Structure 1
């Protein structure tokens, strides 16, 4: 049985209806039970449970999230839907445009969904709005999603963890030298590098956690590291100086957020 224009129109209408007042089970009658999901903001996987969990996380980050369908096109059993998602993030309205590619079976159910959108604006919005950080942390969502292969992701995770560990240990051993390397002045009352060593202990611990063979510990190390780096960036911006340290923290934060995309 071939898919008709009536079937396609019904799918688009049901898809749009779910986004008008989204909740995890809004698409249960539209998605096949073993639907295959590839979506930048949410976890990749198969089955409605993956969708339910991802939507719950997304709504924790943006509780007033809504979607509006602007148009659609079809080619055989594939639908392309142009959608705009809007919601409040850190007290400010934010929107992203996406195209969803839906594959239908002969019963008109969605067997695969692949979403195409640029997650970078969302990542920047979260990083620039400290008010959004608690909701992001509670959601468990990575704000920046990539498509890197697992082996490449593992290498970058190892590199970031090793860098943190090496910087931490080196700063513990020579706090004055490390401070000068990133352009930070010495504190008159900090002759023994106390504050530098506190930073060093933090980074060494985060590096060791990130390098852990236990995915749960490694993931926690990445999340805590990204949160610390974002706080460092905010502190540097408020201080209005120490550009090298600010750039280093910004780079580490971006790397950590990107790596969290496949967790």
Structure 2
């Protein structure tokens, strides 16, 4: 952890403990009542409120009963906490569950008051970088140099 933001470090530890022990009340208590979640890559997924956090995690815990989370890297400065997450487990249907990405939290009065959320499911079937660039640009892959 870089920086000197003890309240951010404390709420992050509380969140990780709650996630890994599947304690929904403790998890929800890490977020302010009017928490704002922005999802820049998927703007319609943004939401406001601790109740939605609780609803989301109730679904996650019920569908991935062995979920484990870890923060691979983090950095805190003032009221901002940058975190890199990995969450893994097995869904109830037997499929693997793996998400990775970044969540940038704002911490106010020892609680998460906002986040910019960049956590996504890991997928291995989308092709290499050439296919990804072509898909984003709507073009045909061209492998000429």
Q: TM-score, length-normalised on structure 1?
A: 0.40
1:110 aligns with 2:128: no
1:119 aligns with 2:114: no
Contact 2:24/2:57, CA 8 A, preserved across alignment: yes
Offset of 1:22 from its aligned partner? 2.5
Contact 1:23/1:55, CA 8 A, preserved across alignment: no
State the alpha-carbon separation in 1 of the partners of residues 122 and 71 from structure 2.
21
Indicate the residue corresponding to 1:20 in structure 2.
Answer: 20
Gaps of 5+ in 2: 127-145
State the alpha-carbon separation in 1 of the partners of residues 48 and 97 from structure 2.
29
Contact 2:7/2:107, CA 8 A, preserved across alignment: no
State the alpha-carbon separation in 2 of the partners of residues 47 and 57 from structure 1.
16
State the alpha-carbon separation in 2 of the partners of residues 120 and 37 from structure 1.
21
Indicate the residue corresponding to 2:97 in structure 1.
Answer: 94
Indicate the residue corresponding to 2:65 in structure 1.
Answer: 63
Taking a change above 3 Å as real, the CA distance of residues 60 and 27 of structure 1, as seen in their structure-2 partners, is closer
Count of residue correspondences: 119
Offset of 1:92 from its aligned partner? 4.0
1:50 aligns with 2:56: no
> Relative contact order (C-alpha < 8 Å, sep 6+): which is higher?
2
The structure whose residues are more often helix, as a share, is 1
Alignment root-mean-square deviation, CA? 2.7
Map 1:1-263; keep pairs closer than 5 Å: 5-38=5-38, 44-89=46-91, 90-105=93-108, 107-119=109-121, 121=123
State the alpha-carbon separation in 1 of the partners of residues 77 and 94 from structure 2.
40
Contact 2:84/2:102, CA 8 A, preserved across alignment: yes
Offset of 1:35 from its aligned partner? 0.6
**Mean alpha-carbon deviation: is it higher for 87-96 or for 9-18?**
87-96
The structure whose residues are more often strand, as a share, is 2
State the alpha-carbon separation in 2 of the partners of residues 12 and 113 from structure 1.
13
State the alpha-carbon separation in 2 of the partners of residues 59 and 12 from structure 1.
19
